[in-house]
């Protein structure tokens, strides 16, 4: 079997998994199941990016999105004391769901058509691969001030979340 064909099959399987997990994330009524489906979505996105040669971006997705954002999401579920075992009822009528599915399908078809028409025969460049070391040198050399600024913004958001959670317990 040709490796590029095997790569295409792997990409197809990952695309189906990420689509199913993303649809389950936004359609489930259980918030914990939504968080776990979000983990699956992010892990599959990281696998696709790594498969396409973006190892740094793939591992950043794993560390930042799966390691931090989803953990904070689950932490928020625990702080708000959301009902974990029960699924909350949605207040949408059946017609709204059908219309949303139709609009989503049309958008998917339009985006797919546009991508295939514009990039159907595009190939990944063979030269010019950026190494993780080059990105690290740039991030901690030239862009160290913006990197630290973003770190402080994230720290402030974390402290703000803790303050809001503790205020709720005092009442």
Chain segment 15-58, per-residue pLDDT in tens: 999 999 998 988 887 878 888 898 999 999 999 998 888 888 88
Contact between 60 and 119 (Cβ < 8 Å) = no
pTM across the whole model: 0.58
- Domain 3-94 sits in CATH at 1.20.120.1200
Q: Find the helix or strand (DSSP H, E) in which 33 lies.
A: helix 31-51
Burial environment of residue 145 by CB neighbours within 10 A (0 to 12, 13 to 18, 19 or more): exposed
Q: Is the pLDDT of residue 159 over 60?
A: yes
Mean pLDDT of the chain: 80
Interhelix angle for 132-140 vs 144-170, to 10°? 80
């Amino acid at each position: 079997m040709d490796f590029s064909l095997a790569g295409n099959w792997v990409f197809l399987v990952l695309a189906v998994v990420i689509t199913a997990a993303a649809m389950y994330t936004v359609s489930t009524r259980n918030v914990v199941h939504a968080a776990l489906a979000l983990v699956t979505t992010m892990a599959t996105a990281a696998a696709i990016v790594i498969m396409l040669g973006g190892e740094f971006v793939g591992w950043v997705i794993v560390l930042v999105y799966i390691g931090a954002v989803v953990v904070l999401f689950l932490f928020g579920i625990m702080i708000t004391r959301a009902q974990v075992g029960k699924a909350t009822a949605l207040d949408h009528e059946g017609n709204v769901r059908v219309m949303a599915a139709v609009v989503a399908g049309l958008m998917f078809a339009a985006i797919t058509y546009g991508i295939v028409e514009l990039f159907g025969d595009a190939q990944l460049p063979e030269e010019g691969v950026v190494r993780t070391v080059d990105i690290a040198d740039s991030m901690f050399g030239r862009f160290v001030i913006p990197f630290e600024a973003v770190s402080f913004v994230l720290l402030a958001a974390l402290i703000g979340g803790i303050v809001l959670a503790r205020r709720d317990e005092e009442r």
